[in-house]
Structure 1
Amino acid sequence: MSTAPDPPHTAKMPAMIYGTAWKKDRTADLVYQAIQAGFRGIDTAHMKQHYDEAGTGAGIQRAIRDGLVTRQDLWIQTKYTPHDEPYASSPTTPTITSQVLASVAASLRNLFPDSPPDQEEPYLDALIMHSPFPHPHQTLEAYAALLPLVPHPLRALGMSNVTLPTLRLLSTSPHPPAVVQNRLRAAERAWDVDVRRWCRAGGLEIRLHLWLFVFVGNITNSS
């Protein structure tokens, strides 16, 4: 675990985060426009099939250069995707640990290319595991590989597409998940009521993927 002091600059997670999936070659411009419009949270992933992580970085860096924001104004999070998932960009390496470290390094390069020497070292406000591995021991190995990277270059860790048993498994970690990012669908997990209750009780931040056709009344009535 890192013995470095707590980092001085840690943004507060915004209530709304701009998602960058499926923007393709428009990613950089749309990220810039999102920041220009007032978004201060940006979500991406190291997953080329659905995200342009480098394009996200280009939009962020342009906004900083143009004086719209500073790095400290932004909450920037990306996701590590296990290489055995479809469309993952994570390299296939001999071990899960080396795969995780390679993915984090690539994300930092994509999001913060050519950082000026007079700026603080690049960091991510949150690194989220895109999904658990098929077996709990694999998930634990991947998560353990991230622990020495907290608080720098990773301020916080999180999980996506996760169930309550996996969250409980990771809750005893020295740096348990601080962020949960799940789809909100009735058909799959009954609006994830159990996960949401558990997160609320533990003070975790939870971010839900909401599609435009979701009826908000159903969400509020189910909690």
Structure 2
Amino acid sequence: MTTRVLKPSIRLNNQIMMPQLGLGVWKASNQDAEEAVRLAIKNDYVMIDTAKQYGNEAGVGNGIVRGLKETQQTRDDVFITTKVFSGDQGYDQTLAAINGQLERLQTDHVDLLLMHWPVNDLYNETWRAMESIYRQGKALAIGVCNFDVERLTDLLRHASITPAVNQIEFNPRIHQQAVVDLCRVQGIQVEAWSPLGNGQSISNPLIGKIATAHQKTAAQIILRWETQQGLIVIPKSVHESRMIENAAIDDFDLTADEMAQISSLNTEEHSRWYDNYQWYGNPDGDPNFIMQA
């Protein structure tokens, strides 16, 4: 094995160490997710992020098993994140669903279990179930995704355990600063999904200029801008060369001026489906949504 390139880690509020950069598998089929995860582990990735919503937990589980076998590592060498599906929310439903998720992932625990969306009228009961899952050892840390200030404040009023992570949309164009500020006050780690902004930020001329100055790619500049702020990032890729590229961001620093220039690109324009989400069903805002098999 080569020396790990993903050594930087963040200490969560329950003292668990979480890698700062990992692989996301949103929109990947089971087959593509399996191969992507296998390749990621081969290239020293130590964190994999999936969700029941994605319909690829089984592929991720297979990829982890294959990757660990090929690299002669064990389950303890990887950090696995999955999420509570919105259709499973509520106390009893969440408790019932976790065992199937663990079975698909071929593990007896996940390192981080997140609530995928704050479904109105259910998220507090869902969180109570997640606290039970945490106490049972089926998740080593628990957190949330896509919680705004209003819902996070409400959750904190009802919770016995403070979330360890809030995974939100964050990239040069979307900062959600009020959410980030609240998380930092409460000791909640911010994790960025869509850290490259669905590729839109990569073509920005300013980022391209900074990339040229550092002899790096635009994607590397963006990911460094985020990790340099202390954020956790999970760029998605099914291409081995890009996985390697995304991981090679710890051998340079952006200047304070460069950081500020990239921050100036903020427009707070969320993804279309994020804006359309009604906070009661699923990320597509479609009440007839059926998770893919």
**Mapped contact 1:181–1:208 kept (Cα < 8 A):** yes
TM-score (normalizing by structure 1)? 0.76
Q: Which moved more, 1:152-161 or 1:198-207?
A: 198-207
**Mapped contact 1:158–1:180 kept (Cα < 8 A):** yes
1:22 correspondence with 2:7 = no
1 CA distance for matches of 2:263 and 2:77? Answer: 31
1:10-61 CA-partner distances (Å, limit 9, x unpaired)? 96211112001122121111100011112111000112xx331100000001
**Mapped contact 1:36–1:68 kept (Cα < 8 A):** no
Structure 1 residue 181: Cα displacement: 0.5
Residue 109 of structure 1: aligned partner: 103
1:70-126 CA-partner distances (Å, limit 9, x unpaired)? 21121101011121xxxxxx4xxxx8222101221111000016xxxxxxxx21111
* Structure with larger Rg: 2
1 CA distance for matches of 2:55 and 2:25? Answer: 6
1:200 correspondence with 2:184 = yes
Equivalent of residue 41 in structure 2, options 35, 49, 65: 35
1:13 correspondence with 2:18 = yes
Residue 155 of structure 1: aligned partner: 140
1 CA distance for matches of 2:32 and 2:60? Answer: 10
Structure 1 residue 185: Cα displacement: 6.4
Residue 82 of structure 2: aligned partner: 78
What amino acid does structure 2 have at the position aligned with 1:29?
E
What RMSD in Å do the two structures reach over aligned CA positions? 2.3
TM-score (normalizing by structure 2)? 0.59
- Whose RCO is larger (CA < 8 A, sep 6+)? 2
Higher helix share: 2
**Mapped contact 2:171–2:192 kept (Cα < 8 A):** no
Matches within 5 A, 1:123-134: 123-134=109-120
Distance verdict in 2 for CA 1:124–1:176, change over 3 Å: same
1:62 correspondence with 2:66 = yes
1:96 correspondence with 2:83 = no
2:114 is paired with a residue whose SS is strand
1:182 is paired with a residue whose SS is strand
**Mapped contact 1:46–1:103 kept (Cα < 8 A):** no
2 CA distance for matches of 1:32 and 1:185? Answer: 27
2 CA distance for matches of 1:186 and 1:194? Answer: 15
What amino acid does structure 2 have at the position aligned with 1:55?
G
**Mapped contact 1:64–1:70 kept (Cα < 8 A):** yes
Count of residue pairs brought into register by the alignment? 189
Structure 2: stretches of 5+ with no match in the other structure = 1-14, 205-221, 223-258, 267-293
Residue 51 of structure 2: aligned partner: 45
